[in-house]
Amino acid sequence: MSPAFFAEVATRLFVYRWAFLAASVVGFAVLTVVLALGAPPVARVAIALAGPLVFVPWAALCACTWFHPESGNLQPGSRFIGRMPPLVQSAIRWYAAIFLFAFTVAAVVWPIMSWQ
């Protein structure tokens, strides 16, 4: 996945960034409560669902805030990244895109990995 792909995704999903944050926080809070109060079988299901319910919205939020063309933190117009040389900016964006892709794949396959 390239930074251009994530910029395209961020353009479409940017208006939902607060919903992604809320979904991730609520999912984490529910997971915490279930792990603290739930029986072991319920906790096992909660752990299996943590990837899709907590980490996928978090990945979408990261994509929106990092790669949005006008207001993304990793774009050339940002305060910190914009002051770096273009080659460094590109390297950071590529690293973030590869990391975000791997993070999303891990979050999606999390239920399969947690049942092993």
Q: pTM, whole model, 2 decimals?
A: 0.87
Query: How does DSSP classify residue 106?
Result: H
DSSP characters over 19-43: HHHHHHHHHHHHHHHHHHHS-HHHH
Query: How does DSSP classify residue 51?
Result: I
Q: For each of the chain's 116 residues, which pLDDT tens digit applies?
A: 888 999 999 999 999 999 999 999 999 999 999 889 888 888 888 888 888 889 999 999 999 999 999 889 999 888 889 899 999 999 999 999 999 999 999 988 888 887 76
* 84 CB burial (10 A radius; 0-12, 13-18, 19+): middle
Tally of domains in the chain: 1
Give the range of the structural domain holding residue 110, as residue numbers without chain letter.
Answer: 3-114
